[in-house]
Structure 1
Amino acid sequence: MNKHDTPIRVDHVGIAVESIENAEPVLFALGCERLTVESVEDRFRWAYYSLGDASRLELIEPIADDTFLTDFLDQYGPGLHHVTLEVADIDAVIESLRENDIRVIDRAEFDTWSEAFVSPRNPTGTLFQLMKYHDDYHEKRLPPQELFINESRVGEQFQR
């Protein structure tokens, strides 16, 4: 049962692949446009794609031999890895999940966002990433219209 009134939206869906280069023609054929490609400490690389007017997909490939992503691909093969939900109040959502006996793991704070993960050992079998953007997130990233619905973070449209 939802015990919070925090606005939430799907930010993107992450898809684990062996190779972005080999996988992205599928997204292009669907009508996606590549927004960015970035790497994390030579461990893995991700590419974001826009689809339509508000949807985004992410391809994630390992670039090291010993990452969570190589383990995932070895066990499950390419496919859905996670669903990222942008939340206006990450603490309220985490509290609601825990009150409903849903395990939250790996909370972390970064310069421009906070995140936590809902363990995939839940009845959906899905790894959910909860993400709260900090105020300066868009200053270091893509233009706001590429990152947020109606050019604002989730929740801002309800505060107007």
Structure 2
Amino acid sequence: MRVEAVDHIAIATANLDESLALWERALGIRCQHVEELPERGIKVALLPIGDTRIELVAPLHDNSEVSAFLEKKGGGVHHVALRVGDVDAGVAELKAQGVRIAQEPAPGAHGCRVAFVHPKSTGGVLLELSTPMGEKP
């Protein structure tokens, strides 16, 4: 598997509007795109910085994956996403090496196909593998 770039760093927040205001006002980083993913129970906002992005992630309801993270950790870095040429092939390669996969490849935000590598296989970091399925927003 060839990693092409750091696609984004996802930060979990309980209040997307408040977080966006801070990033935009204090840091001068403008939001490029906001998207709801009801099937995952999250709402995401993308803030581009050079060739990578910050992804703010907020829960849509109390039983989303991000709600559990916020309850346990109170917010902060949720995952690091790496752009790869073929997420399905990457997952197959990692599995062959005994790496634990937390979520199999599936449609994700921003028109990408994504999979998640379990933090127990990566020294405590939830890693997303992401393959753009078309133009990025």
Which residue of the other structure, out of 8, 15, 19, is the alignment partner of 1:23? 19
**Alpha-carbon offset, residue 58 of structure 1:** 0.8
Q: How many percent of aligned residue pairs carry the same amino acid?
A: 28
Output one character per residue of 1:88-134: Cα deviation in whole Å (capped at 9) or x when no partner. Answer: 12244324423443212321333943221100113421111111122
Q: Tell me if structure 1 keeps the 8 A contact 2:10–2:77.
A: yes
Pair member with larger Rg: 1
Question: TM-score with structure 1 length normalisation?
Answer: 0.73
Task: Indicate whether 1:126 and 2:125 are aligned.
Answer: yes
Which residue of the other structure, out of 41, 44, 47, is the alignment partner of 2:42? 44
Looking at structure 2, the residues matched to 113 and 30 of structure 1 have their Cα atoms a distance apart, in angstroms, of 27
Looking at structure 2, the residues matched to 92 and 41 of structure 1 have their Cα atoms a distance apart, in angstroms, of 27
**Alpha-carbon offset, residue 33 of structure 1:** 1.2
Output one character per residue of 1:68-95: Cα deviation in whole Å (capped at 9) or x when no partner. Answer: 1111111111100011111012244324
For structure 1, the residue ranges without an aligned partner over 5 or more in a row are: 143-160
Looking at structure 2, the residues matched to 45 and 32 of structure 1 have their Cα atoms a distance apart, in angstroms, of 18
Indicate the structure with greater strand content.
2
| Cα RMSD (Å) | 2.2
**Alpha-carbon offset, residue 7 of structure 1:** 4.0
SS at match of 1:73: helix
One-letter amino acid of the counterpart of residue 103, structure 1: R
One-letter amino acid of the counterpart of residue 46, structure 1: V
